[in-house]
Amino acid sequence: MEGKARFIFPVLMAGIMAFLMTGLITWLNLGFPPGFGWLWARAFLIAWPAATVAAFIAIPTARKATASIVRFIERS
């Protein structure tokens, strides 16, 4: 991935993952209490920036690991 896409992709991926995971974890911990949407939104707004930083760190590592695994599989 090159150009602007290499910066946009991790931000969007992190946002989608943070949205889904904070929704699930909020529901598992609290059920559906009054104000569930606000609680979820608060968790999401905290998680998205953290997930974005994690994505920028993890994506290069995951690409290298994937390439290594594929090379190993193809040799077998």
Span 10-37, pLDDT tens digits: 999 999 999 999 999 999 999 999 999 9
Q: Which domain holds residue 36?
A: 5-75
* pTM of this structure: 0.81
Confidence of residue 41 (pLDDT cuts 50, 70, 90): very high
In the chain, the number of structural domains is 1
For the residues of 5-69, what is the DSSP string, one character each? Answer: HHHHHHHHHHHHHHHHHHHHHHHHHH-S-TTHHHHHHHHHHHHHHHHHHHHHHHHHHHHHHHHHH
